[in-house]
Structure 1
Amino acid sequence: MLDTTSRSHADLMDETYRHQRIIYDLTRKYYLFGRDRLIAGLAPKPGSHVLEVACGTGRNLHLAARKYPECAFYGLDISAKMLATASDKLGSRVQLAQADACDFNSSALFHRPRFDRIFISYGISMIPAWKSALRMACRQLSPGGQLHVVDFSDQSGLPRPFGRALHRWLAKFHVSPRLELKQALSACASGIGGISQHQDLYRGYAQYGVISKPY
């Protein structure tokens, strides 16, 4: 059950993507770069349990489940509309649940308290309390588990007019690049005694970070 604040954000996401979800995968492939790189970087062992936070239409889970058929996959999103699209795409191959990325109980949702891999692909830029979402994800990691995150960066290596135009476009969909991601990942890693890695991709268009929890 979503609380009042979560329900408000869920309603906003449902309204934003009520119709966009139908063409979401077709259009986003042209500017959500780095998603396939993240999927390749997951490299879970056979038998691993893998959770996507803010799974949207299920595009990433579909590809990840095909790439790692010996793993179990789970997805959560705050938008019921997006989850409806994901469910149609994924069927029973992936367990899905509606939940707030900042406050969820994985045992109640999936009967599983911890995950070997968790990933967030272009989700934190849409989550108001995104640092809380990172901390929550870290709390769900198994010993030796990893959290992978890819999202927009500062476009520092690209022409300034391009960066300004992109930011204006993203704002229409309530998307805000999180330019403090590197520092936030480091802080979260310290909180679980782990380590973090961060790199900019495509001349600063995107950023990719990994938190590794110790055994």
Structure 2
Amino acid sequence: MDAIYRWQVGIYDATRKFYLLGRDRLIDELAPPAGGTVLEVGCGTGRNLVVAARRYPQARFYGFDVSPVMLAEARRAVARAGLADRIRLARADAAGFDPLTCFARDGFDRVFCSYTLSMIPPWQEALGRAMAAVLPGGSLHVVDFGGQGQLPALFRLGLRAWLAQFHVTPRDGVAETLAALAATEGCALRLERPYRDYAVHAVATRPALA
């Protein structure tokens, strides 16, 4: 991953905004409680964490990434934004993430994955870890590439061929996996396929303690 992104880390955010659709909507829907905690799985350059921390000044934010190159850029972005006191970062693998080891926490009020599952080969394990990190009454928010089944076939093929150059693979089974995981965990699930199935947008809410 470092070999892929080392040369483009400086232009990553400027280029991705045109096709990582739905990221800001996900942030708008986080709405953490006052004093709440928010975790981003695969924080990349830190762009989402900075936007979210500005949007919700009453919350504390955490993020991790497996790539030292991206994590270094995230630290610089957080420092430039003057948010180092509210955003904590760590290096970790999404498929083996442990909130206690990384951040000395049992879990988080909000956990989100923004176009990360399509970059993680063991994405089912990463999704399970993300769900496990959600506290009672909290929620998991996911946005990623969908199946593009309602879009022209040539567009779908071209998009996937282009994404493959960056080792990005849309996960055609992500909606079904989310539904099964939510059912197993007893979570309510809202799942949408916006932009004619270009993306998958989901929120899984864990019941609060009685």
TM-score by length of 1: 0.92
**1:10-43 deviations in whole A, cap 9, x for unaligned?**
xxx1111111111100000111000001001111
Partner residue, 1:123? 116
Unaligned 5+ runs, structure 1: 1-12
The DSSP-based 3-state class of the residue aligned with 1:102 is: helix
**1:40-80 deviations in whole A, cap 9, x for unaligned?**
11111111100000110011101000000100000011101
| 2:22 pairs with 1:29 | no
Counterpart residue type for residue 44 of structure 1: P
**1:122-146 deviations in whole A, cap 9, x for unaligned?**
0000111111111111111110110
Counterpart residue type for residue 127 of structure 1: I
- 2:168 pairs with 148, 170, 175, which one? 175
| 2:56 pairs with 1:85 | no
The DSSP-based 3-state class of the residue aligned with 1:150 is: strand
The separation in 1 between residues aligned to 2:33 and 2:145, in whole angstroms, is 28
| Greater mean alpha carbon deviation, residues 203-212 or residues 62-71 | 203-212
Partner residue, 2:201? 208
Counterpart residue type for residue 128 of structure 1: P
| Map 1:188-199 → 2, pairs under 5 A | 188-199=181-192
| 2:113 pairs with 1:141 | no
Aligned length: 203
- The answer on whether the counterparts of 1:186 and 1:195 sit within 8 Å (CA) in structure 2 is no
Partner residue, 1:100? 93
**1:69-114 deviations in whole A, cap 9, x for unaligned?**
1000000111010000000001213100000001122112112111
Unaligned 5+ runs, structure 2: none
Partner residue, 1:73? 61
- 1:162 pairs with 123, 132, 155, which one? 155
The separation in 2 between residues aligned to 1:37 and 1:194, in whole angstroms, is 21
TM-score by length of 2: 0.94
The separation in 1 between residues aligned to 2:189 and 2:175, in whole angstroms, is 8
What is the Cα-based RMSD across aligned positions, in Å?
0.9
